Every structure is written in structure tokens, then in C-alpha cells.
Structure 1
Amino acid sequence: MIESIWGLFELLAVVWVIYDVVTQNKRLSGAMKVVWILVAVIFNIFGAAAYYFLGRK
């Protein structure tokens, strides 16, 4: 049960990063958008946290 909740949380974090990078963060170049999306997909929660603290301004 706890694994499925954690998996859902990871999925939501990745979806949030993808949504934010594509629609909200206009200052990023196309290449940086791809990099942040890959970081989020590969590192899940840690990638989303890195984007939140380092990529969003």
C-alpha cells in the first residue's frame, strides 16, 4: 500500500515538472527544458525537488 502511494507521489511530481517546464517557465531554452524533463523522469522526486529549488525562478 505504501509503495503505491509513493509511486503515485513520484508520478505526480514528474507530471508537475513537465507541466511547469512546458507551460510556465518561459525563460528556459528548448535544450534546458529537455534536460529538466529528463532529470525529472530519471530521478523522480529528487529531480522534481532539484527543479523546484534550482530550475524555477
Structure 2
Amino acid sequence: MSMLYNLWGLIVLASFIWVVYDIFTNNKGLEPIKKALWIILAFVFGILGAAAYYFLGRK
């Protein structure tokens, strides 16, 4: 069971890193406050925040 939690944690961490990377490389035209908001949402909500960014925040 511990290995499953570790795997889930790595997936959540990877999704958060992807959001931060995508915001600063591919979505440069986004306003700074929106960048900060998306990063906070991805950090707090993990995979759900990354999915929301993918469908709503990306251009």
C-alpha cells in the first residue's frame, strides 16, 4: 500500500511540475496574477488542478 501512495505522490508532483513548466514556457502571454492563480490551484488540487489548467487555462 505504501508503494501505491508513493506512486500517486509522484504522479501528483509530475502534474504540478508540468503545469508550472507549461505556464512559463508555452503560455507566456498569460497575466502574472493568472499565472500565480493557476500554480496555486495546481498545487492545492493536484491532478484536478492540472486537468482544469489543461482544459481551461491553456491556449
TM interval, short-chain normalised: over 0.9
Over residues 1-24 of structure 1, what are the superposed CA-to-partner deviations in whole Å (9 max), with x where a residue is unaligned? 111100000000000000101121
Identity %: 53
- TM-score for the superposition, normalised by structure 1: 0.94
Aligned position for 2:25: 23
Deviations 1:19-55 (A, max 9, x none): 1011210221011000000000010000000000000
What SS does the corresponding residue of 2:28 show, helix, strand or coil?
A: coil
| TM-score for both structures, normalised by structure 2 | 0.91
The structure having more radius of gyration, on CA atoms, is: 2
Structure 2: any 5+ residue segments left out of the alignment?
A: none
Instruction: Pick from 26, 51, 54 the counterpart of residue 49 of structure 1.
Output: 51
Superposition misfits of 4+ residues, deviation over 3 angstroms: none
